């Protein structure tokens, strides 16, 4: 694909702008900003990745991963601002997921220890962990607010903080992971995954593209479950004070 053919794809940006203008949805400005930012950010990332891939420097690879973790943390922490220490909890969660997934991939030689494999896979894992964190925090805070009386009752009867929050924690973990699990049930039937489609369009063997996509799906499954479980068990103790009283979490 050339820049000329890519520019023709802007037709797909014009369509929602025209519809927005016609129906007075007032989405024109946001659509244009989103399109411009996408172009600038992705082109910048493309040139940066080209430089990193050519250098194969562990320093640059690490810096890219640190940058992704930092951006994911900054985005996700807003949803859990009421939870004490949420920033470091998110950082620990993202780092753990990264070490776990890359450790298995590189330790068992499933993928080569090269930047062109490490960085894209890390980006997908951290990105999925970020989305999962936001889903989990939203649901967890809502569950606590909705069942505050029930939690305080268990505490008043001598229950521990873990016993008091157990139901809300498990419900939040399940609710945040269900979308990923359900979407994987229809992979290949309802939709072709983005990475697989991209490889096929680029001329890769379809069977090899499927193998790589299955690898990513299994990695995503691990990352989302580990993220919600780890973040949940890191978060709930800070919702209680030393007197075992619930500190109300408000968004």
Average pLDDT along the chain, 251 residues, taken 10 residues at a time? 78 92 89 91 89 89 94 89 90 96 94 92 93 93 89 86 90 92 77 71 80 89 94 90 68 40
Is 50 in the same domain as 62? no
Range of the structural domain that residue 8 is part of: 1-55
Residues 162 and 122 in one domain: yes
In-domain check, residue 247: no
Q: 172 and 123 in one domain?
A: yes
Query: Do residues 79 and 44 both lie within one domain?
Result: no
Q: Which residues of 65-100 are buried (b: 16+ CB within 10 A; e: fewer)?
A: beebbeebbeebbebbebbeebeebbeebbebbbeb
Q: How many residues are there in the chain? A: 251
Whether 220 is covered by a domain: the verdict is yes
Task: Give me the pLDDT at residue 250, please.
Answer: 44
User: How far is the C-alpha of 180 from the C-alpha of 166, rounded, in Å?
Assistant: 22
Whole-model pTM: value is: 0.83
| Tokens, residue 109 | 């030689």
What domain count does the chain have? 2
pLDDT computed for residue 83 by the predictor: 86
The reply to whether 165 falls in a domain is yes
Q: Do 193 and 110 lie in a common domain?
A: yes
Q: Positive or negative CA dihedral for 36, 37, 42, 47? A: positive
Whole-angstrom Cα distance, residue 237 to residue 242?
Answer: 10
Residue 248 domain-assigned?
no
Please tell me whether residues 118 and 46 are part of one structural domain.
Answer: no
pLDDT for position 151: 86
Residues 112 and 43 in one domain: no
Answer yes or no: do 229 and 136 share one domain: yes
């Amino acid at each position: 694909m050339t820049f000329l053919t890519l520019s023709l794809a802007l037709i797909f940006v014009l369509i929602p702008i025209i519809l927005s203008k016609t129906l007075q949805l007032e989405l024109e400005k946001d659509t244009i900003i989103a399109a411009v930012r996408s172009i600038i950010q992705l082109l910048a990332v493309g040139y940066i990745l080209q430089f990193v891939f050519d250098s194969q420097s562990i320093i640059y690879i690490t810096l890219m991963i640190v940058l992704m973790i930092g951006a994911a943390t900054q985005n996700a922490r807003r949803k859990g601002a009421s939870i004490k220490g949420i920033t470091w909890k998110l950082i620990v969660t993202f780092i753990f997921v990264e070490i776990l997934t890359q450790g298995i991939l590189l330790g068992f030689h499933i993928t080569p220890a090269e930047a062109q494999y490490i960085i894209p896979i890390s980006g997908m894992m951290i990105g999925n962990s970020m989305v999962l964190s936001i889903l989990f925090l939203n649901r967890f805070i809502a569950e606590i607010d909705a069942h505050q009386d029930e939690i305080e009752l268990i505490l008043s009867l001598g229950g521990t903080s873990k016993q008091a929050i157990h139901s809300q924690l498990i419900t939040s973990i399940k609710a945040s992971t269900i979308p990923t699990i359900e979407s994987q049930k229809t992979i290949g039937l309802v939709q072709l995954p983005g990475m697989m489609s991209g490889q096929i369009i680029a001329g890769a063997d379809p069977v090899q593209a499927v193998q790589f996509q299955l690898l990513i799906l299994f990695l995503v499954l691990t990352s989302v479950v580990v993220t919600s479980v780890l973040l949940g068990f890191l978060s709930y103790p800070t919702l209680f004070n030393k007197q075992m009283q619930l500190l109300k979490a408000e968004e």
